[in-house]
Amino acid sequence: MQHVDVIVIGAGAAGLMCALTAGQRGRRVLVLDHANKVGKKILMSGGGRCNFTNMYSTPANFLSRNPHFCKSALSRYTPWDFIALVESHGIPYHEKKLGQLFCDNKSRDIVQLLLDECAAAGVEIRTHTSISAVEYRDRFEVSAAGQGWRAESLVVASGGLSIPKMGASGFGYELARQFGLKVLPTRAGLVPFTLDERKLRDLANLAGISVDVQASAGEGHFRENLLFTHRGLSGPAVLQVSSYWQPGEPVSFDLFPERDLSAWLKQLRRERPRIQLKPLLAEAFSRRMAELWCDRYLGNPILADLSNQAIEGIVSQCQPWRITPSGTEGYRTAEVTLGGVDTDELSSQTMEARRVKGLYFIGEVVDVTGHLGGHNFQWAWASGRAAGEVV
């Protein structure tokens, strides 16, 4: 058995941040990952440009059974700390929208930053290493690939279940259970909705169309774009509300988030009574969308023919439009996993398990899940930092 101070399982965003922080403190750190290369999700993130943080990230951007848990770590390592690190490596970046910061070039810049910092801090990283057993005998003992390591601290940074093709596994949850820690049920988040065949047929002609909406499901309300696809509904508005959606519930989309549709139609009935609904709606969203919506739901009357009651009927199909998804695309395409290691089991200061000294959980494996837009990486950096400062 070889001895190190800290073993980190998972060379993703949280694991590498933890490792480099501990290494900078002079700790001997070994990072183990079963994948063939480090930071695969970073590489594929943000469409290949990694939305590495969000300037406006606050605890309100996170879902967790305990919404207070994330506050300490997030306040001690802020988006500005990570931005300073990015700038110190000369990585060019830009704000796309809503505080979302992306690399100008490739996500690889962020992976290289983490690898360079790890190398400077003397961190050892081993890929292609499948863990066969973890035990505790006065120290944590990790066996993998016919070898063994002992360490005082074990950090679990193995991520969630989303995108199994990329090496996602339930390893962290199983390890938590092995040590008697509670794991909350998991489900796919930031994921497209699927529709039953009839609804899919109804909306088939809209595939590819994107509309600015106010989307709502449960406690989640987001002003973003809805994208109709061949499989169902997607786009940032859908991904955001999917994290708040419960199976069987409807999702609401206000198709006219900028205006009171009823008042607008009544005003136009006075000002332009001869105009038909289709060309009118085409002024508000695309012609294809207006045509399909009128053909399917609204008809194409001239405004003068609309009674107040008829106007309310039109409004009820648009403001909001309600639809019940048949499900989600699941972990295959989800950006994140909701649920995970119960935060009641962990110290919010250090991420250490309260009942198992020396055992830490960071990043997505913990029951803290961010909104779309760079918040999930911010949690990975902040929780990784919090553990890295004490392991």
Looking at the Cβ atoms of 77 and 321, the one nearer to ligand FDA is 77
Binding site for ligand FDA (CB under 6 A): 9-15, 32-35, 40-41, 44-46, 50-51, 131, 157-159, 162-163, 167, 169, 171, 335-336, 363-364, 374-377, 380
Structure tokens at 338: 């909701």
Whose Cβ is closer to ligand FDA: residue 20's or residue 380's? 380
Q: How far is the CB of 369 from ligand FDA (least distance, A)?
A: 8
Among candidate residues 150, 73, 45, 119, the one with its CA nearest the CA of residue 374: 45
The residue (of 132 and 308) whose beta carbon lies closer to ligand FDA is 132
Joined tokens for residue 30: 């070994």
- Tell me if residue 249 falls in helix, strand or coil: coil
> Please, which residue, 15 or 320, has the CB nearer to ligand FDA?
15
Structure tokens that stand for 55 in this block? 């300037």
Length of the chain: 391
CB of residue 158 to ligand FDA, shortest distance in Å: 4
CA atoms of 194 and 358, how far apart (whole Å)? 42
- Do residues 68 and 58 touch, judged by C-beta distance below 8 A? no
Count other C-beta atoms under 10 Å from residue 373's C-beta: 27
Nearer to ligand FDA, 71 or 126 (CB): 126
Nearer to ligand FDA (CB atom), residue 83 or residue 310? 83
| Rounded distance between C-alpha atoms, residue 318 and residue 56, angstroms | 31
CB 87 to ligand FDA: min, Å: 18
- Smaller CB separation from ligand FDA, 43 or 200: 43
Could you tell me the smallest distance in angstroms from the CB atom of residue 239 to ligand FDA?
A: 10
SS3 42: helix
Pair 224, 213: CB distance under 8 Å: yes
Closest separation in Å from C-beta 82 to ligand FDA: 11
Q: How far is the CB of 332 from ligand FDA (least distance, A)?
A: 10
Q: Which residue lies nearer to ligand FDA by CB, 161 or 215? A: 161
Helix (H/G/I), strand (E/B), else coil: 193: strand
Minimum distance, C-beta of residue 34 to ligand FDA, in the bound complex (Å): 4
Q: Which residues pair with 51 in a beta bridge?
A: 102
Here the tokens at position 6 are 């800290």
Question: Parallel, antiparallel, or unpaired: how do β-strands 2-9 and 147-156 relate?
Answer: parallel
What is the rounded CA–CA span in Å between residue 391 and residue 389? 6
Does an H or E element contain 86, and which? helix 79-88
CB of 173 to ligand FDA, least distance (A): 10
Tell me the three state secondary structure of residue 338. strand
Closer of 130 and 267 to ligand FDA (Cβ): 130
What six digits make up the tokens of 229? 């696809």
Parallel, antiparallel, or unpaired for β 210-217 and 251-254? antiparallel
8 A C-beta contact, residue 55 and residue 30: no
Joined together, the tokens standing for residue 66 give 């305990």
Q: Give the C-alpha separation, 41 to 82, whole Å.
A: 18
Report the alpha-carbon distance of residue 8 to residue 388 in Å, rounded.
10
Q: How far is the CB of 299 from ligand FDA (least distance, A)?
A: 41
Closer of 190 and 289 to ligand FDA (Cβ): 190
Q: Considering the complex, what minimum distance in angstroms separates the CB of residue 8 from ligand FDA?
A: 9
Cβ-proximal residue to ligand FDA, closest one: 12
